[in-house]
Amino acid sequence: MSNFTSVKSATSETSNPTNASKVSLTSLTASPELPSAAMHKQAWRVALSGTLTLAVAMGIGRFAFTPLLPMMLHDGIVDLNTGGWLATANYVGYFVGALLCVILRGNPTYFIKSGLVATILLTLGMGLTYAPDVRLLMLMLMLLRTLSGITSSVVFVFASGWCLQRLAQLRLPALGGIIYCGPGVGILLTGLPASTMVAHEWSAASGWLLFAALAALLSASVWRTFSTSSSISAPAASNAHQLEPRQVKRQSIQLVLVYGVGGFGYIITATFLPVIARLALPNSHWPDLLWPLFGVGISIGALLATKIPARCDNRLLLAICYVMQALGVMMGVAYPTVFGFALGCILLGLPFTAITLFAMREARRLYADHARALMGWLTAVYGLGQIIGPPLATYMVKRTGTFTASLSVAAVTLLIGAALFGMMYNKTRTLRPDLREASH
- pLDDT per position as a tens digit, 130-161: 888 888 999 999 999 999 999 999 999 899 88
Using alpha carbons, select from 234, 79, 214 the residue that is nearest to residue 164. Answer: 234
**pLDDT exceeds cutoff 70 at 356:** yes
Q: Which residues contact 249 (CB under 8 A, 6 or more apart)?
A: 1, 4, 5
Closest CA to 119 of 28, 54, 183, 189: 54
pLDDT beyond 60 at 440: no
Q: What is the structure's pLDDT at 132? A: 84
Lowest pLDDT segment from 100-114, 151-165, 243-257, 260-274: 243-257
Supply the pLDDT for residue 334: 92
Predicted confidence at residue 430, as pLDDT, reads 60
Q: What number of other Cβ atoms are within 10 A of residue 278's Cβ?
A: 18
Q: Residues 6 or more apart from 283 whose CB is under 8 A from it?
A: none
This prediction's pTM = 0.78
Q: CA dist 271 to 191, 283, 320, 385, 414, Å?
A: 13, 21, 23, 13, 16
Containing structural domain, residue 429 = 12-25+35-438
Cα separation of 254 and 246, whole Å?
12
DSSP annotation string for 355-415: HHHHHHHHHHHHHGGG-HHHHHHHHHHHHHHHHHHHHHHHHHHHHHSSSHHHHHHHHHHHH
Q: Hey, which of 32-36, 180-184, 232-236 has the most confident mean pLDDT?
A: 180-184
Q: Is residue 156, in this structure, part of any structural domain at all?
A: yes
Residue 361 pLDDT: 86
In a domain, 296, yes or no: yes
Q: Which amino acid is at 93?
A: G
Taking only Cα atoms into account, the Rg of the chain, rounded to an integer number of angstroms, comes to 21
For residue 6, is it within any domain? no
Average pLDDT, the chain: 84
Confidence tier at 185 by pLDDT (50, 70, 90): very high
Terminal Cα distance for the chain, rounded:
24
pLDDT band at residue 92 using 50, 70 and 90 as cut-offs = very high
Residue 45 lies inside a defined structural domain of this protein: yes
30 found inside a domain: no
The domain tally of the chain equals 1
Cα separation, 157 vs 102, in Å, equals: 10
pLDDT band, very low/low/confident/very high, at 90 (cuts 50, 70, 90): very high
Question: d(Cα 369, Cα 346) in Å, to the nearest integer?
Answer: 33
Residue 5 lies in a domain: no
Q: What does the pLDDT read at residue 11?
A: 40
| Helix, strand, or coil (residue 310) | coil
**70: in domain:** yes
In this model, does residue 111 exceed pLDDT 80? yes
Residue 56: the pLDDT is 97
How far from the centroid of its chain's Cα atoms is residue 419's Cα?
22
Among 64-73, 197-206, 239-248, 393-402, the minimum mean pLDDT is found in 239-248
> Between these two residues, 11 and 36, which has the higher pLDDT value?
36
- Asked whether the predicted pLDDT for residue 229 surpasses 60, the reply is no
Mean pLDDT of 287-306: 89
E strand intervals along 41-111: none
Residue 181 φ then ψ, to 5°: -70, -15
> Cβ(97)–Cβ(149) under 8 Å?
yes
Helices 108-128 and 204-222, packing angle to 10 deg: 160
CB 222 within 8 A of CB 53: yes
Give, in order, the Cα–Cα distances in Å from 318 to each of 165, 296, 360, 405, 420: 22, 20, 11, 25, 10
Residue 117 CA to residue 385 CA, distance in Å, equals 27
DSSP code of residue 230: E
Residue 323 φ then ψ, to 5°: -65, -45
pLDDT of residue 369: 64
Res 261 pLDDT > 90 = yes
Task: Give the three-state DSSP class for 163.
Answer: helix
Q: Which CATH number do you get for residue 329?
A: 1.20.1250.20
409 in a domain, yes or no?
Answer: yes
> pLDDT at residue 367 above 80?
no
State the average pLDDT over residues 91-108.
89
Distance CA 220, CA 116 (A): 9
